[in-house]
Amino acid sequence: MRETPLFLDGPSGPLEALYLDVPDARGVALLCHPNPVQGGTMLNKVISTLQRAVRDMGYSTLRFNYRGTGASAGSHDMASGEVDDAEAAVQWLREQHPQLPLTLLGFSFGGFVAAALGGRLEDQGIDVERLFMVAPAVQRLQEPEHVPNAGTLTVIQPGQDEVIDPATVFAWSSALTRPHELLKVAECGHFFHGKLPELKDLVQPRL
């Protein structure tokens, strides 16, 4: 099954995306990529691994480039603007599959985007069944952006992350009052070099 390239209407102009429509899908999944200023795109290998993980579990998937990334219009905001982009992407995805439950996955900066999007959707009365935050930039989650309170939340943090301080993520997790699961990946750096199969093995049973 190959993803279909397309452009979505975004708040700053067209957003470049890759969509996979799985027959008889059991859910839909939106994937949010890492920091575009540091070269992050929807083709990032961690995002590609997550896309395959959810695809193989029977989910239709959508990944996209934030404003100013790849062929997407606009320029980087590095804050709420990328969450606005993700909101436009998830709106398109839900229009294709209005009845299917929604899963959000984000890596690094995308972990912030996915979490903030989940909180926004919940505020609008839209359910997020599952949220996966992988090596997430939790320090960016400033009010009013917040994680959703309902659905399952899984935080996956490499123990030797050289980009996101693991202690920051662990402290954020311990302060979080809502139920969630924190998975620590030992001897693993930020980009999961040599650990991508392990990442897939952590995500799939939780889908």
Q: What is the mean pLDDT of each run of 10 residues along the chain (207 residues)?
A: 96 98 97 96 98 98 98 93 98 97 98 98 97 98 94 98 98 97 98 98 98
> How far does CA 21 lie from the centroid of its chain?
18
pLDDT of the residue at 78: 84
Question: CA-to-CA distance for 88 and 1, rounded, in angstroms?
Answer: 25
Question: What percentage of the chain has pLDDT greater than the value 90?
Answer: 97
183 neighbors 154 (Cβ within 8 angstroms): yes
Tell the residue number behind the tokens 């199969």, with chain if given: 197
Q: Residues with Cβ < 8 Å from 175, sequence gap 6 or more?
A: none
Q: What single letter denotes the amino acid at residue 51? A: Q
pLDDT of the residue at 187: 97
CB environment 88-106: b (16+ within 10 A), e (fewer): bbbebbbeebeebbbbbbb
Q: What single letter denotes the amino acid at residue 155? A: V
Contacts 24+ apart (CB under 8 A), 187-192: 187/159, 187/160, 188/158, 188/159, 188/160, 188/161, 189/158, 189/160, 189/161, 189/162, 190/108, 190/135, 190/158, 190/161, 190/162, 190/163, 190/164, 191/45, 191/46, 192/45, 192/46, 192/49, 192/158
Q: Which domains does the chain have, with CATH numbers?
A: 4-206 (3.40.50.1820)
| Radius of gyration of the CA atoms of the chain, in A | 15
Length reported for the chain: 207
pLDDT of the residue at 79: 84
Query: CB neighbours (10 Å) of residue 168?
Result: 15
Condensed to tens digits (0 to 9), the pLDDT of residues 153-204 reads: 999 999 999 999 999 999 999 999 999 999 999 999 999 999 999 999 999 9
